[in-house]
Amino acid sequence: VARQTSETRMLIAALHFLAGTLGSLLIFVIGVRISGAKGFSAPFGVVFVGVACAALAHFVSQWATPAILLLYAISVFGEAIRDRST
């Protein structure tokens, strides 16, 4: 296995931060649309998800980003469906 330079590792972390943040923002917006909410405030959670994706991709595995986004989607869509039924 080839060793990665520190620049490559930081680029990978930045890309996972961007993918995590944009992916969770997209999931959040779709969840809000499904729930039928008329208005909402800007979510801070998307930044937290982005940071978690970058950190876990850097220290654990690059497969952590899709796993985190899947768990976040399950949570958001479950809450949206529950809100829609009430």
- State the pLDDT confidence band at 2, using cuts at 50, 70 and 90: low
- Rounded (5°) CA angle 11-16-21: 130
CA–CA separation, 84 and 7 (whole Å): 46
1 to 4, 18: CA distances (angstroms): 9, 26
Q: Which residues contact 64 (CB under 8 A, 6 or more apart)?
A: 16, 53, 56, 57
Per-residue pLDDT for 3 more than 80?
no
pTM for this structure?
A: 0.85
Q: What is the pLDDT of residues 25-58, one digit of tens each?
A: 999 999 999 988 888 887 898 999 999 999 999 9
Average pLDDT on 72-84 reads 92
Q: What is the pLDDT of residue 57?
A: 93
12 to 18, 20, 22, 77: CA distances (angstroms): 10, 12, 15, 28
Q: What is the pLDDT of residue 49?
A: 96
